[in-house]
A = this chain, B = another copy of it.
Amino acid sequence: MTEYEDLIRLKQPPSIAAWSSVVGKKESEGPMAPYFDCTEQDSHFGQATWEQAESELQRRTLRLLLQKARCPETALSCLFAGDLINQCTSSTFALRHLDVPYLGIFSACATFAEGLMLAAVMQSGMNLPRCAVLTSSHFSSAERQFRFPLTYGGQRTPNAQRTCTAAGAALLTPAAAPPYLRGMCIGRIRDMGLTDASNMGAAMAPAAADTVARYLSATRTRPADYDAIVTGDLGTVGSRLLNRLMEQNGYELRSVHRDCGVMMFDNAAQDTHAGGSGCGCSASIICGYYLPKLQSGEMQNILYAATGALLSPLRCQQGDSIPGICHLVHLSHSGGKEQI
């Protein structure tokens, strides 16, 4: 038994007052396409390099968020942002000419959930009016940083996931309007010694099982109490492992489990192997698909358990393993104090 709290419950749950999602070409051809605010067919987003393209993707997503919220950039109390690229430059170069108080975060593909948690704590705990989160990923900037030069044309293994070109953003306010962020569970790093950089799902599944089981246990809830328990992004391989690990923990997850990496693509038709991944994958699906359903009441409660593979090409070359992490937030149609 650990002594710290596995669960942080927000006494005054912030309202997610606005959200936005922008995705690239491949994502616009997948089953989730109708749900995104905006799709872009030019992988370069009008820029000269992939890294600049990803920064432009972030800028557009933030601009859209602020438009939808009717909030000028200078009215943001703070913005948590992050991405996969070294030195988090997709974020910093997206924001460098904006007058926005910026806090850089990194949890690999779990960064959007980390940002939601911290924006909620900042909004609710410090009573700030407008706290935002923004994350992105880009297939081409990530692929050449983490694996091979794109022009090398390397074969991808069946277990491999495809980094999504996608971004999501959300604005948290003290308003009394659904959806709300009700609670959270901060992840602990889990490392089972996996060293295959093409099998991120397996590296992340133990972290997902740890966090989801801790949260369910701390809240004394069962998977069936939620409309969905949404991981992002375990892909098909990691999802199978998660379900098996949860079974060992005494939880039957299958009936409510969804995974953003699995949802993003039609893997057979789009040749995307084990599914999608990246900071923008679950960010765009949470913002595009789940938040509207929680707003309307079509869904009442979901757990969003974002998973990140804390992969370093250099540490892999040095023979080291791939640690995983999973941060969880409870998103709800209701801001009240019911059982869940």
Chain-B contact segment, one of A72-80, A216-224, A241-249, A257-265:
A72-80
Cβ of A182 to closest chain B Cβ, rounded Å: 13
A126-B121 CB under 8 A given contacts A74-B2, A93-B315, A108-B87: yes
Chain-B contact segment, one of A95-103, A149-157, A232-240, A287-295:
A95-103
Residues in A51-91 with C-beta less than 8 Å from chain B: 51-52, 72, 74-78, 82, 85-89
CA distance A4 to B85 in the complex (A): 29
By size class, the interface of chain A is 35 or more
Partner of A310, one of B52, B89, B106, B108: B89
B residues near A101, Cβ cutoff 8 Å: 4, 185-188
A122 within 8 A of B: yes
Chain-B contact segment, one of A21-29, A170-178, A317-325:
A317-325
Contact A189 B102 (CB under 8 A): yes
A300 within 8 A of B: no
A191 within 8 A of B: yes
Best-surrounded residue of A77, A95, A105 (most CB of chain B within 10 A) = A105
A8 within 8 A of B: yes
A5 within 8 A of B: yes
Contact A8 B126 (CB under 8 A): yes
A195 within 8 A of B: no
CA distance A93 to B3 in the complex (A): 23
CA distance A321 to B97 in the complex (A): 12
Contact B106 A104 (CB under 8 A): yes
Partner of A74, one of B3, B48, B78: B3
CA distance A331 to B128 in the complex (A): 21
B residues near A190, Cβ cutoff 8 Å: 96
